[in-house]
Structure 1
């Protein structure tokens, strides 16, 4: 009953906010009304679809590359201590560098093609995956590991029945964090130079002082970010059902 009340209150608040926004006296060029934003979204849907597909392709490609590199780095850091001592501080420092400072360097190194935007997304997303995967390796029960060794389990069996099932939820946890950054990182990469993408659409709207179209692009970026997160969440539920069941019980 309490959950239903909270859900109802949330929707009432959202509708009330939109109504107040719609009938406010703020100039359109400063804060366009929701009806204007929806109108532009409908009239521009073909152009928006092209730009959105381009951005989502960059986001998913960069996220996949970040996943592979992040897991690979975590495996190396867990296997070799001297590699962990070298790479761990580098990963920490890399996240202290603003993405708006890294992106121009990527453009200089790799040009203005789609690979640049994919590289920016991969750079931003690999850190959460690497750190969470490494944490998964570190939290493996040593008694369970000793039991597998006493029972003469091969290294493949240890990975299949102990390490991977234990670490996979940590991988998806890092991937969920990365998913929230993927679309925004692609848009930032597009700001620096691209032929298509929501970042280019934003710049064109800003240069022509079309606040309504700027708000449209922001709404679509939010929708795509939530969609990527939900996709990762569904994959997590699909591939780690034992973890989801345990979380529901606790």
Structure 2
């Protein structure tokens, strides 16, 4: 009898679980969106001041471990990607698609440098982002001067003359845990055009003595890109209720 009672309890328990699962399914509760699904919509659910704060501070983010501060000069209207990149960079990014492009430009506390920070929200999935990352890594595309991103020059600001000819350092990072490419491009605020461009990764190497390295342009490009990547990942980890 004890065996029969145990069997009956097992059958009853299984039935309750199955019933609960069926009720959940019938209730039509939507599944939790994946990080990629959330990533493609964060551009219109996360406030612009969270993605691109008006002021930023970086502990030990400058040359020699100095602290670094930046203030925002302007935020570009969110757009598509048509005409947003040099042709070679546009072709390199094209396989991932473009859902939205967000950009802001900052200057450092001394008003010596200007840096555009960009977030390209792609239209592909994890496999597509991994393929894009591998293509950039294998071809060293993030180090090619013909693949530097365009700056954003907010009119009437210190960066109003920040054009392609003023680009001095840059960084492009293809993420694989989100449908996103984060990039930065930086130059001198006085609009000089005589600085040979150097990727941030090279200018940060020990012993680098270029103008880009000594002026901290690569530090700006790296610190501001890292900050945007952290913000994006924090927003992806948050539940929909926690996202402001």
Structures share fold, TM-score greater than 0.5: no
TM-score normalized with structure 2 length:
0.30
TM-score normalized with structure 1 length:
0.29
Point out the structure with the larger helix share: 1
Point out the structure with the larger strand share: 2
Structure with the greater alpha carbon radius of gyration: 2
